[in-house]
Amino acid sequence: MLIRSLVMLALRNVLRHLRHSVFSLVAIAAGVAALALADGFVQDVYHQLRESTIRGQLGHLQVSMPGFREAGAGSPEAYVLPRPAALSKAISADDRVASVMSRMYFSALLNAGERDLPVEVEAVEPVPEAAMATQIQLIGGRDLAAGGRYSLLVGEGVAQRFGLKAGDSVTLTASTAQGAMNSVDLQVAGVFRSFSKEYDDRVVRIWLPTAQELIDSKGVNVVVVQLKATEQTDPVLAAIRAGPVGQGVDVQPWYRLSEFYANTRLLYERQFGVLQAIAIVLIAMSVYASFNITIYQRTAEFGTMRVLGTKGPRLFAMILVEALFLGVIGGLLGALLAWAISAIVGLIGIDMPAPPNSELGYVAYLRLRSEAVALSVALGALSAAIGCLAPIRRALRVPLVTTLGRGI
């Protein structure tokens, strides 16, 4: 009965002081909506960066020999996977796997005319790679499969350094497994652009058999696993590591291989934490301003209640419930506002400029999460409760004579 009476009183007081209540509700709803939408924007950034990383460079999982990540580019022949075909077949047996492809990585020297440039070579299987690399944009020429075995794709930065275009001839020089120097003449099939400018400035892609011929090695360094759903990354990773296929090899997920993704996510999480703190302070200040005026105007009312026997704790509880009531209602209104804005943005998108270290713009959306919206509503209610504490404390410390006198 006590709780019911407190809630009824809170509702009546909210309606009785409608102007101040509306001011508080607008502030709370705006703060809650801003928090939910900010989280939705950040989640979309994570999603876009995740898919660009997976479908532009790394795949979902990569299998290699231990130590290859640290020293493999300098001596790829020392980190060749044993029986890669059997390894790929065993991994492909999992229904969650979409495709498995082999790669070789090594450093080489690219020559065009009288100029040389050290580059990182990705030797790939063109057909499955083209199906996976949907986030790599071909800005000139044709893809690697159409170019033929003795063709290559060059990153945009590499192409700009040499002034290369589709059809130009280049020479690629690298060390063989025996330590001798070997070279191969190639024709530029096309120029690509990924989400990472750094990647485009140093990487060229060639056929895997051509790379094996160049460095005189039949092996491969990496088996790339593409899954049907990114959410299956950790379960499939655990299954491979626990099974016989994962013994003696290093299996890493995409988020461990991409430092850029990890650092970007850490940066946004810190920024969002600061945004949450700012929103809580702003909501609390808005509620404080509203309740400060409301409680001052109701000083005589509170004094009369105290004279009639209402104890301080009950008066405190009544005002606190009123603030929580405003917080919850304002939070729910903010949640509805956030979902409405998200639905509108989902229809039109937001054209975004290229982020740092990239030359590709993208269309942003708002990926609202139910748990984040619920947390925003809870933070709105908490901020409202915090904002009313100081005015309540001040009202309870006013002498009864003074409170009654203000009503005369």
Average pLDDT over residues 13-37: 80
Alpha helical stretches, state H, 175-258: 197-200, 208-215, 233-242, 254-257
- Give pLDDT tens digits for 14-24: 666 667 778 77
Nearest C-alpha neighbor of 289 from the set 379, 407, 406, 390? 390
Predicted local distance difference test score (pLDDT) of residue 408: 46
Q: How far is CA 163 from the centre of its chain?
A: 35
Predicted TM-score (pTM) of the model is: 0.75
- How do strand 203-207 and strand 362-364 relate by DSSP bridges? unpaired
Lookup result for tokens 């729910």:
332
Question: What is the chain's mean pLDDT, rounded?
Answer: 83
Count of residues in the chain: 408
The distance in angstroms from the start CA to the end CA of the chain is: 33
Task: Decide if 240 contacts 93 (C-beta within 8 A).
Answer: no
Is pLDDT at 173 greater than 70 in this prediction? yes
Helices (H) and strands (E) in the chain, counts: 16, 12
- Give pLDDT tens digits for 277-310: 887 787 777 777 777 777 776 767 667 777 776 6
Alpha helical stretches, state H, 93-216: 126-132, 144-147, 156-162, 197-200, 208-215
Of the chain, the percentage scoring pLDDT greater than 70 comes to 87
- Give pLDDT tens digits for 351-395: 877 666 666 677 888 999 999 899 889 988 888 888 778 777 777
- How do strand 203-207 and strand 222-227 relate by DSSP bridges? unpaired
